[in-house]
Amino acid sequence: MRLKFGGQRSVAEPFASWMVDALSRAPPPRVVPEGDGFLVSWVPLGRKRRRARGFDQAELLARAVAARTGWKVNRLLARVVETAPQARRSGQERQAALRGAFEATTSRLPDSVLLIDDVLTSGATAAECARVLIGNGVREIGVLTAARALGSGLPGRCYNPPGLQPGSVVARERFSR
């Protein structure tokens, strides 16, 4: 809440440390973090929300994770539809609202992407971003978030890996082009 709504950008650093620790314990299968075929990216805010906050919290997290790991980071997605806040919507309502909300920012995408977001709730945002990236040539996508909303059930395509804190999840769904 401090990062997303309180403007406390410094909170991104401790989150990045915990995120890298969680990633080292349960890395996404087949996401290979090496060479030019891999990038860290983030789920982007829309222009209005970014302007109102003065920053994009997912971008701060992505850049902090990349700095801690030495991996390259780049913006691969743009939010082209300003969606209303998703917090009070059901999973199906989120999926419908997010369809077409993102597009790739470049035609040259890597084979493998680690997509960073601040909070995983239903998984609809990550799924829509993955759909766009895969539709533009990305082969493997891992999703890493700073938090998971505990108010809803665990998305069906996710599981809690052993050894991680309660609330940590790993997605297992494969998307096709």
Domain ranges of the chain: 9-171
pLDDT score of 86:
61
Give the CA diameter of the chain.
40
User: Which one has a higher pLDDT value, 170 or 93?
Assistant: 93
pLDDT score of 158:
58
pLDDT higher than 70, residue 133: yes
* Section 19-45 average pLDDT: 84
Instruction: Classify residue 118 by burial, with Cβ atoms within 10 Å: 0-12, 13-18, 19+.
Output: buried
How confident is the model over 68-105, as pLDDT tens digits? 999 999 999 999 988 766 656 666 777 777 888 899 99
Asked if 77 and 102 touch (Cβ cutoff 8 Å), the reply is yes
- Three-state SS at 133: helix
CATH number of 9-171: 3.40.50
pLDDT score of 113:
94
Least confident of 97-111, 130-144, 154-168: 154-168
Q: For residue 96, what are the contacts with CB-CB under 8 A and spacing of at least 6? A: none
Q: If you search the block for the tokens 């109102």, which residue do you land on?
A: 52
Query: What's the pTM?
Result: 0.77
Asked if 98 and 121 touch (Cβ cutoff 8 Å), the reply is no
pLDDT score of 54:
81
For residues 42 and 59, give the distance between their C-alpha atoms in angstroms, rounded to a whole number: 6
For residues 32 and 11, give the distance between their C-alpha atoms in angstroms, rounded to a whole number: 28
Least confident of 120-124, 127-131, 161-165: 161-165
